[in-house]
Amino acid sequence: MANIKGYNMPDELYYHKDHSWARVDGNRVTVGMNDFFQKEAGDIVFVDLPEEEEEVSQGEVCGKIQSRKWIGKLVAPVSGEIVEINEELEEDTSLINSDPYGEGWILVIEASDLESELGNLMQGEALVSFIEAEIKRAEEERAKG
């Protein structure tokens, strides 16, 4: 488990710049929101999910997540067909906060072009630089306030 300045970002996952993560298991890709997102967003109060069997493209908005009065985007990290939705979230959206990489998973995509698309996602050093830049921006903004 990589820890980047207090944010848990597991090494084995791939990360999209809009804060979704992807866990690859063959062609099945489980998707959720990362620890940075859930900490910044605060308590998640509603998740507006797509239907199973919908086709999504990498980078496409495939769901909405409301925290407080903010509605944020769930962006598909890879292209493919949505084959599973986490129905537990209908009852308890706080799973995204309490266990973002476990019980708080959001959906599963049967990927259609995994090999070429994984290169567009972040891991390792690229991820560390990205998260550090996001933290810096957040800190600068708070300092101004």
Chain residues binding other proteins by CB under 8 A are 19, 36, 40-43, 45-46, 48, 61, 64, 66-73, 91-94, 97, 134, 137-138, 140-142, 145
Shorter beta-carbon distance to other proteins: residue 27 or 99: 99
Contact 67/97 with Cβ under 8 angstroms? no
Q: What angle do CA 102, 79, 10 make, to 5 degrees?
A: 30
CB of 106 to other proteins, least distance (A): 15
Residue 49 Cβ, how far from other proteins at the closest point, in Å? 9
Task: Write down the least CB distance from residue 58 to other proteins, Å.
Answer: 15
9 near 131, Cβ under 8 Å? yes
For the chain, percent helix, then strand, then coil, each to nearest 5? 30, 35, 35
Closest to other proteins by CB, 23 vs 64, is 64
* Closest to other proteins by CB, 25 or 87: 87
